[in-house]
Amino acid sequence: MAQAATAPSTRNYLQELLPRLVLAPSFAAVIIFVYGFILFTGYLSFTDSKMLPSFGWVGLENYSKLWALPHWWRALGNLGIFGSLYIVICSVLGLGLAILLDQKIRAEGVLRPIYLYPMALSFIVTGTAWKWFLDPGIGLEHTMHQWGWESFSFTWIKDRNFAIYTVVIAAVWQSSGFVMAMFLAGLRGVDNEIIKAAQMDGASNITIYRRIIIPMMRPVFLSAFVVLAHLAIKAYDLVIALTGGGPGQATELPATFMYSYTFTRNSMGIGAASATIMLIMIASIIVPYLYSELRTGRRS
């Protein structure tokens, strides 16, 4: 510390400040690019922006227009169908697979990565694969016809009333393995003593799962719900690759709605309003969750 003696005060002062200086650029970037941009988009939702941002104040006009659009209602309705099926099926499938895999399966090391690999793929790749697999002209239906089952028909992806379910199929394929991994981690954390005690009392395996283990998975259910719900609200790429929002508007979701109103229909004000509503939806799920997580984290 020879040099420190020459100018101790400046050096110490700098040393003290240095950590904060290192953190500052990241923090500034987050404040500007996340929170500043949220405010900017929020502000735009009250303006008459069309093709480009403009700052003429119009109050709540964009919101009243938005909520009067059947297109927006369809996007929300689709999100309701897609989101609830996606969350429920992924959770049931994830939990089921995790329980099966937790039965001291010899091939677990082979099976688990197989269940999980779709999570490493881009939704565009998933969408492409399922788009052609579900396409009646060359995919599953065509294959069944080739195999001699002439009456087989599976045209959901071309059907306005059913196309949204094909989005569910592809999305479940992509994410259920991940939910499985979450539940598996949860199951591995269950105290063996509890299970042994229940077995001593003569409880069957099914009873043990139903009455003891599955109720203990409550935090995992909550985490899975939060993760899947927020993925569902953000869902964009998969729909674009699988159906492009069609046929008609049959698979429009808020994210595709936002994009097309903002960038192709020149109604940036309405696009900004829809983005704001998406943010509110996600925040109402994430903020209470993180709040309770951080609080319990601090307690323990």
Partner 1 sequence: MSAPSPEIAVKTRSLTRILIYAALIVFAVYYLLPLYVMLVNSLKPLDEIRQGDMLSLPQQFTLDPWFSAWSTAQIGVQPTGLKPYFLNSILMVVPAVAASTLLGALNGYVLTKWRFPGDNLVFTLMLLSCFIPFQIVLIPMAKVLGLLNLAGTTWGLALVHAVYGIGFTTLFFRNYYEAFPTELVRAAMIDGASFFQIFRRILLPSSGPIIVVTVIWQFTNIWNDFLFGVSFADVNSLPMTVALNNLVSSSTGVKEYNVHFAGAILAALPTLIVYVVSGRYFVRGLMAGAVKG
- By CB under 8 A, what part of segment 236-295 binds partner 1? 236-237, 240-241, 244, 255, 258-259, 262-263, 268, 271-272, 274-276, 278-279, 282, 286-287, 289-290, 293-294
Alpha helices, H only, 7-162: 8-30, 37-44, 61-68, 70-101, 108-116, 123-133, 140-146
Among 129, 198, 212, 214, binds partner 1 (CB under 8 A): 129
Asked if 271 contacts 262 with a C-beta cutoff of 8 angstroms, the reply is: yes
Question: Cβ of residue 110: shortest distance to partner 1, in angstroms?
Answer: 8
Q: What is the DSSP letter of 253?
A: -
* 82 in contact with partner 1 (CB under 8 A): no
- Rg (the chain; Cα; Å): 25
Among 230, 249, 265, 266, binds partner 1 (CB under 8 A): 230
* 167 in contact with partner 1 (CB under 8 A): no
Element counts in the chain: helices (H) and strands (E)? 16, 0
Burial of 238 (0-12, 13-18, 19+ CB in 10 A): buried
CA 262, 226, 261 angle in degrees (round to 5)?
A: 10
**Helix (H/G/I), strand (E/B), else coil: 57:** strand
Q: What is the footprint of partner 1 within residues 175-214 (CB under 8 A)?
A: 177-178, 181-182, 185, 202
Question: For residue 219, what are its two tokens?
Answer: 């935090």
* 148 in contact with partner 1 (CB under 8 A): no
Nearer to partner 1, 47 or 164 (CB): 47
Question: Cβ of residue 114: shortest distance to partner 1, in angstroms?
Answer: 5
Among 38, 58, 198, 212, binds partner 1 (CB under 8 A): 38
Question: Cβ of residue 177: shortest distance to partner 1, in angstroms?
Answer: 7
Q: Which segments of the chain are extended strands (E)?
A: none
Nearer to partner 1, 164 or 226 (CB): 226
Residue 90 to residue 92: CA distance in whole angstroms:
6
Question: Cβ of residue 61: shortest distance to partner 1, in angstroms?
Answer: 18
* 51 in contact with partner 1 (CB under 8 A): no
Among 118, 163, 164, 166, binds partner 1 (CB under 8 A): 118
Nearer to partner 1, 139 or 247 (CB): 139
Indicate the helix (H) or strand (E) that contains 29: helix 8-30
